[in-house]
């Protein structure tokens, strides 16, 4: 195994392509160290060991493990001794070559919900605030919410996916965004100006006027 080309591909291809956050980056390198650098594709690692290595809680470690698995960077098998993790290398993930030329992206066809790939772009669009109540949110604690629920005909388009806080995501459930905004206003969680701005934001979102920057 030639280490240098693999490390270059991890930095230049894998991490940017899957929009890995700081915890996912650290986790991938830790798992890479515990597997491929020891001559193995997989290893069984207790969650507590992962948390210790990353310097985080077991909750954060579990979340990062699941996110890397959802993105396809690792494969998981739960055992009594811990997570059996298979680490996939960049050349196993079908990552397209990144050209020096800027590639036009058809934003209308992108899935903004699955695997949280575009969560940072949505957070930037929302100014790192909950789309509904304007509470400050981060990649670590935000939820992705369908403004129009899937059962109501909603899609995973940028015109229907927003970053929200956990509270709003839980309370809103199957309600329309407008209903949820009015509920927040009745409970004095939004003032009149904020209420009106949120209604306008919903209208702008549905009409495609709130395109995230990619």
Q: What pLDDT, on the 0 to 100 scale, is given for residue 101?
A: 47
Which long-range contacts (C-beta less than 8 Å, at least 24 apart) are formed by 189-194? 189/133, 190/133, 190/134, 194/134
Is the pTM higher than 0.75? The answer reads no
Nearest to 137 by CA among 158, 118, 159, 122: 122
* 42 and 131 together in one domain: no
pLDDT tens for 17-37 read 999 999 999 999 999 999 999
User: Is 205:147 a contact under the CB 8 Å cutoff?
Assistant: yes
Domain span holding position 77: 3-92
Last residue of a domain, one of 57, 92, 127: 92
Token pair 């055992």 in the structure block, residue: 79
pLDDT band at 103 (very low <50, low <70, confident <90, very high): low
Residue 152 pLDDT level (bands cut at 50, 70, 90): confident
Same domain? 70 vs 115: no
Rg (CA), the chain: 20
Q: What is the CATH number of the domain that holds 26?
A: 1.10.10.10
The per-residue pLDDT for range 166-198, each reduced to its tens digit, is: 999 999 988 889 999 999 999 999 999 999 999
Residue that finishes a domain, picked among 92, 127, 146: 92
pLDDT in tens, 4-18: 999 999 999 999 999
């Amino acid at each position: 195994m030639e280490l240098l080309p693999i490390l270059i591909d991890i930095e230049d291809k894998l991490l940017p392509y899957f929009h890995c956050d700081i915890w996912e980056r650290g986790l991938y390198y830790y798992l890479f160290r515990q597997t491929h650098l020891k001559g193995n594709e997989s290893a069984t690692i207790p969650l507590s060991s992962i948390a210790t290595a990353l310097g985080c809680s077991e909750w954060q470690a579990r979340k990062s493990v699941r996110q890397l698995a959802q993105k396809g960077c690792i494969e998981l098998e739960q055992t009594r001794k811990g997570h059996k993790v298979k680490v996939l290398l960049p050349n196993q993930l079908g990552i397209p070559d990144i050209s020096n030329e800027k590639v036009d992206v058809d934003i209308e066809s992108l899935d903004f919900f699955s695997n949280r790939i575009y969560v940072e772009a949505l957070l930037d669009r929302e100014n790192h605030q909950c789309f509904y109540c304007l509470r400050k949110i981060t990649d670590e604690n935000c939820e992705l919410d369908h403004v129009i629920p899937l059962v109501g005909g909603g899609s995973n388009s940028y015109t229907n996916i927003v970053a929200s806080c956990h509270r709003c995501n839980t309370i809103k459930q199957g309600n329309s965004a407008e209903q949820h905004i009015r509920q927040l206003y009745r409970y004095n969680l939004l003032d009149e100006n904020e209420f009106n701005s949120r209604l306008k934001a919903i209208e702008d979102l549905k009409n495609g006027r709130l395109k995230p920057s990619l």
